[in-house]
Amino acid sequence: MRSRRRTLVDEFLEKVEFYGQVLDAGGKKNDKRGVFRPPEDGVASWTYVNIDSRSEPDILADLQHLPIPNATYDVVLLAEVLEHLEFPEAALQELARVLRPGGKLVMTVPFLYAVHADPYDFQRWSPSKFIAVLSSLGFEDVSVTPMGGLADVVSDLLNSATGNSCSIRSVALRRIVKFGFAAPSRLVLKFISPMLNWVHQGSDINTGFFVQAVRQSSE
């Protein structure tokens, strides 16, 4: 079952205006987890860089040490990757280097979401952290938008608790929990989602953040 988090990521990325030379940092050319695909209109090239050779990247490299000249790309995408980086500030500094002045950085990052190792899960960032770090690296017009609300968070945590991270060892009991409890609960949650989102309308409870920033011009 596709998570609410993944659905939100796809929806947000579909609305982004990608253009020129795009670097998909940490993206996978194959075995994609969502339905979003690189747009054809307005994009001159879409380059994948990944440290995992199994994803068949165009550039096999660590994001902290990119074999790419300065100011090469118009847009850099970092989707659901930052939480897996042991040294995220170093990677962001390198991505800023390969981004042209006036170019755009686009990120999606989980927040209230279960720990998921790929192969590791190191952190969660708040809006204040994004703004502070990106500003220090030469970005401006930093915007941090919450993705989803209380109902989405509850749905994903329930899905995780009764899915792969379920502590019940018995296969039979796991099926009972999954189909006898989790599935009906998600159905009920679908109908009460508007009420949950009405009960809590703040931005502090969300599945994660959609971040955009512009590389400062050299002028």
* Per-residue pLDDT, 61: 97
Pair of tokens at residue 86: 């042991």
Instruction: Return the HEC string of 201-219.
Output: CCCCCCCEEEEEEEECCCC
What predicted TM-score, i.e. pTM, was given to this entire model? 0.89
* Per-residue pLDDT, 75: 98
User: In 26-171, at which residue ranges do the beta strands (DSSP E only) sit?
Assistant: 43-50, 59-60, 73-79, 99-110, 139-147
CA 98 from centroid of its chain's CA atoms: 20
Pair of tokens at residue 211: 């971040």
Vertex 7: Cα angle to 35 and 107 (nearest 5): 85
Q: Which has the closest alpha carbon to 149: 209, 60, 102? A: 209
Going by their DSSP bridges, the two strands 43-50 and 59-60 should be labelled as parallel
Residue 139 · residue 96 · CB < 8 Å: yes
Residue ranges of the chain with pLDDT lower than 70?
1, 164-166, 178, 218-219
* Per-residue pLDDT, 219: 54
Residue 156 · residue 110 · CB < 8 Å: no
* Per-residue pLDDT, 115: 92
* Per-residue pLDDT, 72: 98
**pLDDT tens digits, residue range 16-73?**
999 999 999 999 988 787 899 999 899 999 999 999 999 999 999 999 999 999 999 9
Q: Considering the domain 4-149+203-215, what is its CATH architecture?
A: 3-Layer(aba) Sandwich (3.40)
Q: Using CA atoms, how far apart are residues 193 and 54, in angstroms rounded to an integer?
A: 38
* Per-residue pLDDT, 164: 64
Q: For residue 198, give every residue at least 6 positions away whose Cβ sits within 8 Å of its Cβ, in sequence order, or none.
A: none
Domain assignments of the chain as residue spans, ordered by start: 4-149+203-215, 150-199
* Per-residue pLDDT, 192: 80
List, in sequence order, every residue forming a beta bridge with 81; answer none if it has no partner. none
Vertex 205: Cα angle to 204 and 206 (nearest 5): 110
Exposure pattern of 148-170 as b/e (b: 16+ CB <10 Å)?
bbbbbbbbbeebbebbeeeeeee
